[in-house]
């Protein structure tokens, strides 16, 4: 079975994670895909197939004869989809012989515009896969799962030499909790790769330092007719707070190594409001400065509105894995060689986000990130190609072979 065929099956399973549920996994619906993958892994002939009490799926493909001393490699992807956009009732659409132009999606009047997404021109002639416009697709990260599954199936069928292959599928990556209950020692890999990037050939070993922040504002609500010198409008207080942050330090105005504040949620009434931020920077010193700046903005806003209540809750999510990988650059070099052997240009760039691999690297499993072939994650314009997924599977085969032949 080709990787894209698996993807078409996986994306129909609703696995959206959710913030603040207090459970792990954060949503019970992720169990449905976990059990499917457990059954599929066992059917392929994988060994030690299990699902942990926290919905982490793991399996092992033992080394072939003569490769027992080859470093054990882990391949990891996540099952959940982003809470940012609906992942329920996903209906994938295949656009055969894509002409390289704009693509009208069947629902919601949305169009995938080449002017907005210039990479589409490079996909002319391929088979493009999108959702129908009403949901995200879920290639983030079900494409990664499909590619890992296909690698394992093909290795078993071909009998090609390989070291021990460890497979892991995690829940809740999209809310930063994927490795919370990942047992690195039991997993059994010496080195790992997450498949959670975008373009095929993508290789990422630098990522943001990240924190999540929540601001809760309690205002003073009275009748507007008698509000003078009494009312404290929580929504307006929140707007005032956000205005204290640098306007250029937002996702839409930054790229590369530049960090940002992202106001991801702002809800409320006169009486109470809630703001949710994500804070990102590759540089640790600048990351700490950004957190301090938000703390200062909250303190100044509280001082300006003593009758209101402005409370900040902030927690670090993950850190830049570059330092953890500096002694394991063979992972990057072999990934580059593997891409070149698959006739895919390697693209080494920093992640403007994070992956399970960032935290796993700090937990003792050096784990850079590879592209899956998908683009435009977390929204209705998400897309991928059949050929891109096939290329990723070839890259994975080449990585396995490079380690086996060392």
Residues 6 or more apart in contact with residue 404 via CB below 8 angstroms: 64, 67, 70, 160, 161, 162, 163
Report residue 25 CA to chain centroid gap.
16
d(CA 372, CA 16): 19
Distance separating the N- and C-terminal Cα atoms of the chain: 29
Q: Is 173 a catalytic residue?
A: yes
Q: CA 175, CA 177: separation in Å to the nearest integer?
A: 6
- DSSP code at position 366: -
Phi/psi for 251 (5° steps) reads -55, -40
- CA angle, residues 173, 3, 332, in degrees to nearest 5: 60
- Helix 284-304 and helix 234-243, axial crossing angle in degrees, nearest 10: 140
Peptide bond into 333 cis (omega under 30): no
What separation in angstroms does the CA of 37 have from each of 14, 44, 87, 161? Answer: 14, 10, 19, 24
Which residues are known to be catalytic? 80, 173
């Amino acid at each position: 079975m080709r990787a894209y065929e698996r993807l078409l099956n996986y994306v129909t399973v609703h696995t959206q994670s959710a913030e603040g549920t207090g459970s792990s996994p954060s949503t019970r619906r992720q169990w449905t895909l976990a059990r499917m993958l457990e059954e599929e892994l066992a059917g392929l002939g994988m060994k030690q197939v299990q699902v942990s009490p926290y919905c982490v799926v793991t399996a092992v493909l033992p080394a072939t004869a003569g490769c027992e001393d080859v470093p054990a490699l882990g391949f990891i992807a996540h099952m959940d989809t982003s809470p940012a956009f609906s992942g329920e009732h996903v209906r994938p659409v295949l656009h055969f012989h894509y002409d390289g132009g704009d693509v009208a999606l069947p629902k919601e009047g949305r169009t995938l515009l080449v002017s907005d997404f210039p990479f589409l021109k490079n996909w002319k002639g391929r088979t493009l896969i999108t959702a129908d416009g009403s949901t995200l697709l879920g290639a983030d990260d079900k494409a990664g799962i499909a590619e890992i599954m296909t690698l394992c199936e093909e290795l078993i069928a071909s009998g090609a030499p390989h070291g021990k292959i460890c497979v892991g599928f995690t829940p809740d990556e999209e809310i930063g909790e994927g490795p919370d209950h990942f047992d690195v020692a039991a997993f059994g890999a010496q080195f790992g790769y997450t498949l959670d990037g975008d373009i095929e050939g993508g290789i990422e070993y630098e990522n943001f330092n990240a924190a999540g922040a929540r601001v809760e504002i309690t205002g003073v609500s009275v009748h507007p007719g008698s509000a003078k010198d009494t009312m404290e409008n929580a929504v307006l207080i929140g707007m005032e707070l956000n205005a204290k942050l640098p306007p250029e330090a937002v996702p839409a105005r930054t790229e590369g190594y530049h960090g940002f504040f992202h106001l991801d949620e702002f809800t409320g009434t006169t009486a109470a409001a809630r703001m949710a931020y994500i804070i990102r920077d590759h540089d640790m010193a600048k990351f700490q400065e950004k957190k301090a700046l938000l703390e200062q903005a909250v303190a100044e806003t509280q001082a300006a509105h003593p009758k209101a209540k402005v409370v900040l809750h902030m927690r670090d999510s993950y850190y830049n894995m570059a330092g953890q990988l500096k002694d394991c650059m063979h992972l990057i070099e072999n990934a580059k060689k593997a891409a070149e052997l698959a006739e895919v240009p390697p693209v080494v760039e920093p992640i403007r986000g994070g992956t399970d691999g960032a935290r796993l690297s700090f937990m003792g499993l050096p784990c850079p990130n590879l592209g899956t072939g998908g683009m435009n994650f977390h929204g209705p314009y998400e897309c991928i190609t059949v050929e891109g997924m096939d290329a990723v599977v070839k890259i994975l085969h080449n990585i396995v072979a490079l380690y086996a032949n060392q």
